[in-house]
Amino acid sequence: MFGYVKIVMVALMISAVAGAGLYVMKLRSDNAILKANQIELEKSVESQKELLEKQKQDFEEILESNKQLNRLINTLQQDLEDLDKRFNKGDRDIGKLALEKSNAIERIINKGAENAARCIELASGAKHTEQELKATKKSEINPECPALANPSYVPYE
């Protein structure tokens, strides 16, 4: 009977050692999987940080573009108000003036259309000419959009 207990004890010890070995092997494989997952997670976190930084830069660029656009809108609004004041003076009959002074009115309208077209070009992103940049006198400026066309011009009011 003592031999039978010995065999059972040896079998239990062999089973325990085998079980411990299997458990250690499972832990090692789990550890390898966790390390791989950790590496992927760190890559994802780094990627997200880069994405957030890029979004922050884009947001700042959008804010700056909005500021520039608002300045342009305010300038164009002021120019529109100036044009409105210029054309709404008392009892002016353009048709009657056109019949009486057709050459002068044609010249004025053509020059105004040319100036307005240049304003549209500048508002669309065209570069200023040297003459526009140097204009400081009222006779040298584009009267349709002086603030946009002639940045050096300061009106005296």
Task: For 84-142, write each residue's pLDDT tens digit.
Answer: 777 666 666 677 777 788 888 888 889 889 988 988 888 888 888 888 878 878 778 88
Task: Answer whether residue 4 is part of any domain.
Answer: no
Supply the range of the domain harboring residue 42: 31-70
In this structure, the answer to whether residues 151 and 111 fall within a common structural domain is: yes
The DSSP code sequence of 58-112 is HHHHHHHHHHHHHHHHHHHHHHHHHHHHHH--SS--HHHHHHHSHHHHHHHHHHH
Task: For 15-42, write each residue's pLDDT tens digit.
Answer: 999 999 999 999 999 999 999 999 999 9
Give me the number of domains the chain comprises.
Answer: 2
In this structure, the answer to whether residues 52 and 102 fall within a common structural domain is: no
Task: Answer whether residue 13 is part of any domain.
Answer: no
Query: Is the overall model pTM greater than 0.85, yes or no?
Result: no
Task: Answer whether residue 15 is part of any domain.
Answer: no
Task: For 45-97, write each residue's pLDDT tens digit.
Answer: 999 999 999 999 999 999 999 999 999 899 888 888 887 777 666 666 677 77
Task: Answer whether residue 111 is part of any domain.
Answer: yes
In this structure, the answer to whether residues 98 and 66 fall within a common structural domain is: no
Task: Answer whether residue 137 is part of any domain.
Answer: yes
